[in-house]
Amino acid sequence: MVCAAVALANPPGETVPHDTSIRFVPAAASGMVSLGIYDRQGALVRVLCDEWPFSRFRIGLNGLSTSWDGNDDAGQSVAAGTYTARGFVVGDIAVSGEAFHFNDWIEAADSPRIVSVAATQLVSGGDILLLAGLAGERGALVRYSPETKARWETMITEPQTLPAHTAQVAAGNHIAFALLDGQLRGVGLEDGAEVPLPVRTDEIVAVAARGDRLALLEAEAVRFYVLPSFASQGEATNLPSPLTSLALLDQGAVAAGADGSVWRWQAGWSKLEMPAEAKVRTVSSGRDNTFWVLEERADGSTRVAQYGPEEGRLAEWSPPAGGGNITSLAATPEEDYFLATLAVPDGQRTVAIRRRGDGEGWEYVFDKKITDSSGFGWRDGALAASAGEIPAEVTVRLVENPLDPGASRQLVLRATAHENGPVLGTTDGLPLLRVSTGTGDNRVMIVPGANENTARFFQGDGSCVEEYALSNLGDITSFDAGTIKMAGGAEESGLADKDPE
């Protein structure tokens, strides 16, 4: 007789204080082994082996062996009774990443998991700085390089949820500045290392940088510095009203007031004439001596406009109907080019817009949308960003176990969000296949594929939904590793079949 597996026996009625040894003969030549201990009712009490390679077991003439300390998954001794050891050998199942859904910022597995964009800034050469909220309730200053293969560089991370009450980014020639809820930090643009700031860094209202100049807006004054020495270049006091946003011009600066007014500083404050029907919420440096503003109209709609202190209004851009309301604006002194972040009903968009070469109209450099997918599901036969069902199980047909031809050839696999990454396992909780290493994924779903023993697996961490294609799911072989009778937390007797031949 050929047996699939045995448990090593001790003399009947004798309890032993040492671990119980479990030995089995795998039915396949290679693969990963998952082995569990089950009580008399068939409930899984201990995951003994979780995707172990053969090399992790003790190898002997009679198969592979491991041991059980008599505890359950909670570390408590199991109750007296008879327990069964059984598991599966998982063979050559193919897992391939297929797509990232609902977040245009996430292009590859190493892209930062951006959930929201709080502030942006263009830097010389076309790169973009984003002060962003990440999955896992973290905040980060990240650099995006759309023209290079290494797209992302994370410069600052904080265990803080964004959006914050105030968030701004500014960049000079060599240093970027991140302002978050009044706290200012600096980072080198060349090496990404944090730069100690020899200036006040708390209770800052707004920050602006342009080339080798820096301006910090505090409650009572605007202070000017030259970079990288941070030597003082004077201050602007007697603020005309509470100011909320600041931009440096070729000569002097402009600021937006809390009441929507705009003020210019050049040896003194002067109020600029702006359209009566709009309030300015943000100002940003532009080409030459121009500046850009984010305007909010009485009906709540928003637009971007470009101004010259002497020329007045030069150009404007409004989102298309249904395109959302602008929440942040950033421009560059190098050309007529700006970034705008918009709130839309199902998420957020960030657009990069440049004036056309002929000077007539605008062209989109990119348009990246984040759709809220925290409640994704399956609706009408397709992936949906919200609502719908959450299918968690697929049925596969297994390969035959040559050591136990009578074993069931059908297995239901269940998708589970595990602390070490999303897994496929049995319906009783034994993990068989870790699909990815995404430890932050808290929502998973699986649906059958187009062919037998294939499936589409989806996982999400709040930033996007990742899709994987699974194939050859039938390359799983079940085995029975015998029974163990326990009493007092130790083995009383082993109910073993004959040793494998």
Residue 258 tokens read as 């809390």
Categorise residue 344: left if φ over 0, alpha if ψ from -120 to 50, beta otherwise: beta
Query: What's the rounded Cα separation, in Å, for the pair 61 and 501?
Result: 10
**CA geometry: angle 126, 127, 128, nearest 5 deg:** 120
Using the predicted structure, report yes or no on whether residue 496 has a pLDDT greater than 90: no
- Strand blocks (E) in 30-137: 32-38, 44-53, 58-60, 63-68, 81-90, 94-101, 114-122, 128-134
- Per-residue pLDDT reduced to its tens digit, 392-423: 999 999 887 777 777 778 999 999 988 888 99
Using the predicted structure, report yes or no on whether residue 62 has a pLDDT greater than 80: no
Using the predicted structure, report yes or no on whether residue 500 has a pLDDT greater than 50: no
pLDDT, residue 497, reads 40
Per-residue pLDDT, averaged over 123-129, amounts to 88
Query: What's the rounded Cα separation, in Å, for the pair 413 and 355?
Result: 54
Per-residue pLDDT, averaged over 200-218, amounts to 96
Amino acid at 381: G
Nearest by Cα to 429 from 87, 18, 194: 87
Give every strand in the sheet of 431-434, ordered side by side: 393-397, 410-416, 423-426, 431-434
- Per-residue pLDDT reduced to its tens digit, 419-472: 888 999 999 999 999 998 877 778 999 999 999 999 999 999 989 999 999 999
Query: What's the rounded Cα separation, in Å, for the pair 169 and 149?
Result: 24
Helix (H, G, I), strand (E, B) or coil at 287: coil
pLDDT, residue 151, reads 80
pLDDT, residue 149, reads 63
Instruction: Name every residue whose Cβ is closer than 8 Å to that of residue 74 and which is 6 or more positions away in sequence.
Output: none
Amino acid at 124: S
pLDDT, residue 430, reads 96
CA dihedral sign of residues 307, 351, 179, 347: positive
Residue 13: which pLDDT band, with cuts at 50, 70 and 90?
A: very low
Residue 126 tokens read as 């076309």
Residue 353 tokens read as 């817009």
Contact 162, 125 (CB under 8 A): no
Query: What's the rounded Cα separation, in Å, for the pair 95 and 421?
Result: 14
How many CA atoms within 13 Å lie on the side-chain side of 105? 27
pLDDT, residue 119, reads 94
Using the predicted structure, report yes or no on whether residue 479 has a pLDDT greater than 60: yes
Residue 171: which pLDDT band, with cuts at 50, 70 and 90?
A: very high
Using the predicted structure, report yes or no on whether residue 4 has a pLDDT greater than 60: no
pLDDT, residue 494, reads 43
β partners of residue 129: 121, 143
Contact 335, 352 (CB under 8 A): no
Give me the percent of the chain exceeding a pLDDT of 70.
92
β partners of residue 343: 325, 348
**pLDDT, averaged across the chain:** 88
Residue 167 tokens read as 């968030």
pLDDT, residue 276, reads 87
Per-residue pLDDT, averaged over 136-147, amounts to 86
pLDDT, residue 357, reads 75
Give me the percent of the chain exceeding a pLDDT of 90.
69
Residue 491 tokens read as 């083995």
Enumerate domains of the chain plus CATH numbers: 5-91+478-495 (2.60.40), 94-99+374-474 (no CATH), 103-371 (2.130.10.10)
Instruction: Name every residue whose Cβ is closer than 8 Å to that of residue 395 and which is 6 or more positions away in sequence.
Output: 410, 411, 412, 413
Residue 58 tokens read as 């003790």
Using the predicted structure, report yes or no on whether residue 14 has a pLDDT greater than 60: no
* DSSP per-residue codes, 2-13: --SEEE----TT
Q: Which residue in this structure is represented by tokens 């730069």?
A: 195
Using the predicted structure, report yes or no on whether residue 185 has a pLDDT greater than 70: yes
pLDDT, residue 241, reads 84
- Per-residue pLDDT reduced to its tens digit, 342-363: 999 999 999 999 988 777 789 9
Helix (H, G, I), strand (E, B) or coil at 61: coil
Per-residue pLDDT, averaged over 93-109, amounts to 94
